[in-house]
Structure 1
Amino acid sequence: MAVSGHVLEVNLGNFQEAVVGLSRKVLVLVDFWAPWCTPCRALGPILEKLAAEMDGAFVLAKVNSDENADLSRQYQVRGIPAVKAFKDGEVVDEFTGALPESAVRQFIKKNLPLPGDDLRVQALDAIAQGKAAEAETLLKEAISLNPKNDPARLALARLTIQQGRHADAQIQIDAMSPTFQMETEVEGLKALLEFTEAARDIPPMTELEATITGAYGDPRAQAMYQRSLLLLLQGREEAALDQLIEMVERHKNYQDGLARKTVLKIFALQGNQGPLVERYRTRLSRALH
């Protein structure tokens, strides 16, 4: 139900459509509030004023937390007012408590789509459809509109890595802001480029396995590391991690903990989450201690 042009009253019944679905097209700020909440009465008018002033740049969805306890639990609302920013169906940022108007403006500004983001979204659709050339054109256009569009650079870097164009991917990574380069996805791409470059001079797998069986000390540790890289680049993540965990157990201090550092880089490639990461994080902890 619309309260005004860009302000909606939302409940459990229409949340999926009014927030999750709509956030795939526009930034949606969800304001969890209650009639008895004094800070809510201070923050609410600021949000409504900015929604009117920005005229469609974002949509404000107001949720009465008293009447929608299930939504509050689902989105882990522990205090009100709580404002959660939704993009592409997911919460991407949030704050709790009544902020001054200047701080609310800054919160909104940092979450608004970047110029060219519509082209980035089109490019991701093209990639999903196997239209790599079309996606690359769209991403380059998005970057030309706004050279600071780091998510577009990330998508282009990922695309060029898939095509084996590692130098082009490195150019995009180097052009990202230092802060964005610390994002997990970017760290994962950096690791993949590093592994690929390191694998260029690695001996054949049979030679490495012979060294692992017959050698000792640093030569054996180096062969174990190199074998793990070949396994990883073959898409055999579990086998690569098994080799590295064994290396941690037997050669923990080789090249200042290279095996442990490599395991962490593989975790970054996996987005630092998921069953594989959880399983091997436990194994790494045991191997280290």
Structure 2
Amino acid sequence: MSEHIVEITEANAQALLIEESFKRPVLIDFWADWCGPCKSLMPILEKLCNEFNGAFLLAKVNADEQQMIAGQFGVRSLPTVMLMKDGQPVDGFAGAQAEPQVRELLEKYLPKPWDLQFNQAKALIEEQNFKEALPLLQQAHKDSSAQANISIALADAQIELKRLSDAEDILKSVKMVDQDAEYQNVLAKLELAQAAGKIPEIEALEAELKAKPEDKETSYQLAVQYSQHNYYAESLALLYKILQSDLNFKDGEAKKIYTDVLAILGKGDPLAVEYQRKMYTLLY
């Protein structure tokens, strides 16, 4: 039997039915040996429990042997299934149900994959580890179809990592109705970061490049400055443009800095993945 499937007795009922439900949902299955529908339902519940891999606890109560527990929960027929959350029954059904109906009930209360990613990211952010939090937030943002609270957290992490243009794009995508106090805080943080400006060397090179947009030497010098001050997206964009026209620019130095920036970002970073693919198209 899986560690996420338990038999309930009076000795463990309080701990497993009530206290455990504050940590994760507990699905209680009241059954009996003589009950035919119980025997058809139980494999469905066990299959889903194994599939969800610990997202909920399946608690099996033999109603004949544990009559006091069945009575306390007001069980009148078998099978009866109840879903416990935070110490209270929140949903359930009586009688056998097909797998799609049971799955639908569970999915209303179980955390979504992006919730788990978001929680992992928040734990990393508490440790000021924005670099490792970023890919988790980006994946959660994608999987949740840009859920507002995830979008705001993603923008905040991007600001910390000096990806100001990315943060601005994300914040612009948040709907007006979702622009709460946290959104306003992150927006103010972005505006302060933008107002602080870049260092003089970068500003001077940006002005020079604006006047001579096709000057590879200026582009290269600006890309170097960007990379040294953690403006990785901007650096890679300039370097890629240079490498498109001259793969061996400055005796390979442009390509070396390009690969160095990819290494700093790490293999799982979506920005790194994007520019690794672009480099691949240039090489092959």
TM above 0.5, one fold? no
When Rg is computed on C-alpha atoms for both structures, the one with the higher figure is: 2
Q: Normalization by structure 2: what TM-score?
A: 0.41
The TM-score normalised by the length of structure 1 is 0.41
